[in-house]
Amino acid sequence: MLLQPVWSFLLGHSSLLRSPFFPVFFSLTVYLMFCLPFLLLDLLSSRWSLVRRYKLQPQSSINWTTVQSCLALTLYNHLIFIFPLTVLNWYLRPVLLPQEAPPLPQMAAQVLVCLLLFDFQSFIWHLIHHKVPWLYRTFHKLHHTYTSTSALTAEYSEAWETLSLGLFAAANSLLLGCHPLTEMLFFIVNIWLSVEDHCGYDLPWATHRLIPFSLYGGARHHDLHHLKSKCNYAPYFTHWDRLAGTLCT
């Protein structure tokens, strides 16, 4: 009942939801919206010490060449690789939009399970691509171009990496039989956490400060990975790195 008004509103735009263009439009729009506040912080940090004090690497700064390079690669990967696959998926698997919204507890539980599955899959993918030199050079080295992270570097990666992680995310919601609204929320949360991981700031309201017992790594955790490269392979939570002996704090 709580989610029905939201879902009914979205159903009023069902032609957009069923469009083969929607997944790419949705992904890009959400990603850029989440990056924008951190880009503004990057602009302010060069002028205000109040902002700079929260930077994980205060000596670093972002320039417009970096911004343009990251944006260009993100757009290229989405238009050349992701869009054709979403059209193929749209053709082979028509979008089904039920009339009823999912129960809120079910939605919350499925989003959490999707995140935990994605975290495990990404940990394994990431670890393998660091341990096998050919895989690192061919598919993952580009993402480590910048040792100082910023929001737009979240998707600065080879097409193979972008597609692999996107496939994990899509497969998890399909595996759990998620409602389309649950699937959309999972993608929103997943994109936000990825952007926050790469934002380069340790803000007072950051996710890793809200989740107790150091269960969540967040921006500090992932920034160390870009600095040292041989630790902190899980994107979000810390338990897999702790078990594998690859956790660095």
In tens digits, the chain (249 residues) has pLDDT values of 789 999 999 999 999 999 999 999 999 999 999 999 999 999 998 888 889 999 999 888 888 899 999 999 999 999 999 999 999 999 988 899 999 999 999 999 999 999 999 999 999 999 999 999 999 999 999 999 999 899 999 999 999 999 999 999 999 999 999 999 999 999 999 999 999 999 999 999 999 999 999 999 999 999 999 999 899 999 999 999 999 999 998
d(CA 95, CA 159): 25
Domain range spanning residue 128? 3-244
- Of 196, 190, 193, the C-alpha closest to 151 is 196
Judged by phi (left if over 0) then psi (alpha if -120 to 50, else beta), residue 243 lies in alpha
Domain contains 41: yes
The pTM of the whole model exceeds 0.85 = yes
**Secondary structure of residue 237 in the 3-state scheme:** strand
Domain contains 48: yes
Domain contains 249: no
d(CA 143, CA 152): 11
Domain contains 77: yes
- Which residue carries 């499925």 as its tokens? 110
Give the count of domains, the chain.
Answer: 1
Buried b (16+ CB within 10 A) or exposed e, 66-93: bbebbeebbeebbeebbbeebeeebeee
The enclosing H or E element of 44 equals: helix 22-45
